[in-house]
Structure 1
Amino acid sequence: MKIFLDTLLETNKTYDFFVDWKKVRSFVEKNKVEINILNSLLHSEDFDNELRRILRRYPEVLKVVPLLLAIRDNSVSIISEFGLEKTKVIKLDFTERNLREEEIETFVDFFKKTGLRDLFLNIADKSLFDYILGVEVGTDTNARKNRSGKVLEDFLKPIVETVANKCGYSLFVQKEFSNLEKYKVNITKLKNRKADFILLKRRSDGSCRVVNIEVNFYNVSGSKPQEIIDSYIERQKELKEYGYEFLLVTDGPAWKKQKSQLTKALENLDFVLNTYLVRLGILEEVICMI
């Protein structure tokens, strides 16, 4: 365990972890025409009437309105009145359509009460495009968790590919176990479960050798490592029922505060490696030995 803990990665952040600029730019460019139409409202001296005119003539701008508030949904429910006797909830639909006059008035009121009217008149300066670009950058930070989870897999993929080739295995990346059925490998209990990596080798007697490799990284301690270790112990048990193997590659500073869970993993899983041990050649040694 000491070697494992002493060689953990401090972080899995890469330069492209912070913002997916290509995605942000593409998202904004896709709505460029509608953004430019709304841009005409900046510092308008007759904002409400100009907004009414735009909503009548260019209802396609509706889809851009949620972006101004960093909302991804096409509709939103709002409490418009809250009291002891009555609560009134209205639902605004931002899908493109020809609007009734009463709907237009609802959107004008929405701009006023959410502060969007003040944004156009007093906050945004020259470009609504730049404002939305900034909003999208902020929204994209929510995707960091997904990017973080995939980084270690991307790091290890070329190593696993090399090991698979050297040891005579076919490699499946992010595939469900059901993809093995064409090789007459039927893992019923895990059929619809997706694996990070699956290695498959056909033996001379026609049977197959299968190794499932799962990868994860934990920056902070908590309940997740405990849950995942329990699930992997169960995964290994299910695979062994079919005569197949399981290997875990895990890393991250959180394990230094989760020693009991790491001990549980080391005691109950046949193969637990970190990225240092993988790069040291232990992964290749294990896969070619299995």
Structure 2
Amino acid sequence: MDSTYLHILQKKGLKVSNTEDLMKIFLDTLLETNKTYDFFVDWKKVRTFVEKNKVEINILNSLLHSEDFDNELRRILRKYPEVLKVVPLLLAIRDNSVSIISEFDLEKTNVIKLDFTERNLREEEIEIFVDFFKKTGLKDFFLNVADKSLLDYILGVEVGMDTNARKNRSGKVLENFLKPIIEKIANDLKCTFLTQEKFSTLEKYSININKLKDRKADFILLKPRGDGSYGVVNIEVNFYNVSGSKPQEIIDSYIERQKELKEYGYEFLLITDGPAWKEQKSQLTKALENLDFVLNTYLVRLGILEEVICMI
């Protein structure tokens, strides 16, 4: 922990004299969650996808309870090959091509690859897709499971598949919370504010950090100096709901990041939060001991972030 940071914490009325004191405050004030109301489903994305493919979905809808399913499917594939692109979604698959083991025994393994991109199909390809519908259970689904609306079914599938994107949404929540706070601090201090930019972007400000030029930063503040140059403050933000190997990897990479920035006379600051830190105390200790400035959202709200940026 940097002595400047210690002074700022004490100035704000916190009883901190060492890493252990800061650790206790840190753990006692962690956010329980970073879930917001829009965390669960991105309804706009779901609706957009379904609307975009509404025509093709309705064409396939005609197959529900068909008395001549195979021939009707052949007719559709010949006349409306654009329906191919929505077939994988019926099985909750995003890819537009799928490899399948069609035969496996002691002597050989046969793998076929199905391409669901729109195109005019050869008759042999059509037969492969008819077989695909039968063997994957889609034919039975159309005839015996689905009721009246394939559109409603696909809407449900999209909602389910969108939950896979929750991790990405979760990773951005804290960053989105903090962005206006950091931007306001930057504006108040007359700093240039950059977000999600590679360090190579700094070359336009005559700043070259060669070791990091291909790395992307969550936030970068450029503090004007009296001689016309800039001081650089890199702020990284993350949130951990569950414990695992990720915090260790991240902390090690941030220690190295700070070292590289200091070689150029620049600063690094980490804002991290989340209940997982209670199970990763050794990694948190490592961060507090080896990184000059580690804050959580509680410390940010106390105004410590602004104080740190002013002082460094």
Task: Report the TM-score range of the alignment, normalised by the length of the smaller protein.
Answer: over 0.9
Q: Name the CA distance, whole Å, in 2 between partners of 1:201 and 1:271.
A: 17
Q: CA RMSD in A?
A: 0.6
Q: Name the CA distance, whole Å, in 2 between partners of 1:73 and 1:115.
A: 19
- The match for 2:150 among 128, 132, 153 is 128
- The match for 1:101 among 99, 123, 131 is 123
Q: 1:1-290 residue pairs with structure 2 within 5 A?
A: 1-290=23-312
User: Which aligned segments of 4 or more residues in structure 1 are displaced greater than 6 angstroms?
Assistant: none
Aligned to 2:4: none
Alpha-carbon shift at residue 206 of structure 1 (Å):
2.0
Q: Name the CA distance, whole Å, in 2 between partners of 1:15 and 1:119.
A: 34
SS of the residue aligned with 2:185?
helix
Alpha-carbon shift at residue 97 of structure 1 (Å):
1.0
Q: Name the CA distance, whole Å, in 2 between partners of 1:157 and 1:91.
A: 45
SS of the residue aligned with 1:88?
strand
Residues 56-88 of structure 1 deviation map (CA, whole Å, 9 limit, x = unaligned): 111111111011111111111100001001111
Q: Name the CA distance, whole Å, in 2 between partners of 1:273 and 1:201.
A: 20
Q: Name the CA distance, whole Å, in 2 between partners of 1:289 and 1:187.
A: 22
Q: Name the CA distance, whole Å, in 2 between partners of 1:131 and 1:118.
A: 15
Q: Name the CA distance, whole Å, in 1 between partners of 2:40 and 2:132.
A: 33
The one-letter code of the counterpart of 2:26 is F
SS of the residue aligned with 1:173?
strand
The one-letter code of the counterpart of 1:134 is G
The one-letter code of the counterpart of 2:112 is I
Q: Name the CA distance, whole Å, in 2 between partners of 1:18 and 1:84.
A: 46
Percentage identity across aligned positions?
88
Gaps (5+ residues) in structure 1?
Answer: none
Residues 208-262 of structure 1 deviation map (CA, whole Å, 9 limit, x = unaligned): 1110000000001110000000000000000000000000000000000100000
Gaps (5+ residues) in structure 2?
Answer: 1-22
Residues 108-149 of structure 1 deviation map (CA, whole Å, 9 limit, x = unaligned): 000000010011111111100000011110110110000000
Q: Name the CA distance, whole Å, in 2 between partners of 1:271 and 1:105.
A: 64
Q: Name the CA distance, whole Å, in 1 between partners of 2:41 and 2:203.
A: 39
Alpha-carbon shift at residue 91 of structure 1 (Å):
0.8
The one-letter code of the counterpart of 1:248 is L
Q: Name the CA distance, whole Å, in 1 between partners of 2:133 and 2:262.
A: 60
How many residue pairs get matched?
290
Alpha-carbon shift at residue 94 of structure 1 (Å):
0.7
Q: Name the CA distance, whole Å, in 1 between partners of 2:305 and 2:175.
A: 14
Q: Name the CA distance, whole Å, in 1 between partners of 2:130 and 2:27.
A: 59
Give the alignment's TM-score, normalised by structure 1: 0.99
Q: Name the CA distance, whole Å, in 1 between partners of 2:193 and 2:140.
A: 56
Q: Name the CA distance, whole Å, in 2 between partners of 1:19 and 1:130.
A: 16
Q: Name the CA distance, whole Å, in 2 between partners of 1:257 and 1:97.
A: 53
Q: Name the CA distance, whole Å, in 1 between partners of 2:281 and 2:98.
A: 45
Q: Name the CA distance, whole Å, in 2 between partners of 1:118 and 1:277.
A: 58
Q: Name the CA distance, whole Å, in 2 between partners of 1:201 and 1:6.
A: 33
